[in-house]
Amino acid sequence: MGFVDYQAEGMVGILTINRPAALNALNSGVLDDLNAALDGVDVNEIRALIITGAGDKSFVAGADIAEMSALTKEEAEAFGRKGNDLFLRIESFDIPVIAAVNGYALGGGCELSMSCDIRICSDNAVFGQPETGLGITPGFGGTQRLARLVGMGMAKQMIYTARNIKADEALRIGLVNAVYPQAELMPAAKKMAEGIARNAPIAVANAKKAINDGYQVSIEEGAAIEEELFGDCFETHDQKEGMGAFLEKRKEKIFTNN
């Protein structure tokens, strides 16, 4: 895949958007390559996924303005659907996805990071939704996920003003979970992913689904979703292994995703 590199390190997969000359901007080719890369992730073997950008300047600097500038209304809507379909796929992917944001995460880059389960960033990271300054709205989920993550007031402020924010402010408003010196970002992302990978994959996947599916419904509906997914963990090897290890006071656990 020309714009996306994929490698597996043990039970952790790493997707790197590799278009550094364009600050890893998202064009149709990058979106297609990301989709294809996700197809290649074996979720029976890989238990956590990291998405990052090539180079030390940019995670993803946005969608490709040169490609978008000449779109018709119908073409723009289709392009938005292409990005939204991909980001919805990432959001509901079978395993947790960590965005390791190394530099600019603007427009589509900010939206990509928000489709991931967890965001951590380098101290030179910059986030923003600059679209209103370009005469458009966010088109890959920014108007939806940003408000859910940082609250409606802050989301409206960021989108209406098109103002970028630095890593410390992103941390303060809850857009990212942690900020690291750039050299420490990927080691921290891998350490977090490895910690996730050590836990029972069925339980982690069910927890992700319970959180995602329950977030936009009533507490009663959410509790019902949780009950079903909680019960679904039982009678599995991993449930017996995890509880057996606890009762036997042993640290070693072998989770098999069964």
Q: Is 169 noted as a catalytic residue in this protein? A: no
Active site residue 111: yes
Q: What is the pLDDT of residue 63?
A: 87
Fold category of 201-247 in CATH? Lyase 2-enoyl-coa Hydratase; Chain  A, domain 2 (1.10.12)
- CB-facing half-sphere around the CA of 164: CA atoms within 13 A: 15
Which DSSP symbol is given to 255? -
Task: Give this prediction's pTM.
Answer: 0.96
pLDDT at 1: 60
* Per-residue pLDDT tens listing for the chain (258 residues): 699 999 999 999 999 999 999 999 999 999 999 999 999 999 999 999 999 999 999 999 998 898 899 999 999 999 999 999 999 999 999 999 999 999 999 999 999 999 999 999 999 999 999 999 999 999 999 999 999 999 999 999 999 999 999 999 999 999 999 999 999 999 999 999 999 999 999 999 999 999 999 998 999 999 999 999 999 999 999 999 999 999 999 999 999 999
> Domain locations in the chain?
4-197, 201-247
- Candidates 9, 74, 111, 241; catalytic one: 111
Active-site residue identified among 131, 194, 227, 241: 131
- Residue 11: the pLDDT is 98
| Per-residue tokens: 57 | 């300047």
Copy the structure tokens of residue 134.
């370009």
What is the assigned CATH class of domain 4-197? alpha beta
Predicted confidence at residue 90, as pLDDT, reads 98
pLDDT of residue 249: 96
Name, in order, each residue with C-beta under 8 angstroms of 105's C-beta and a sequence gap of 6 or more. 59, 60, 99, 112, 113, 121, 125, 126, 127, 128
pLDDT, residue 69, reads 93
How many other C-beta atoms can be found within 10 angstroms of the C-beta atom of residue 170?
Answer: 25
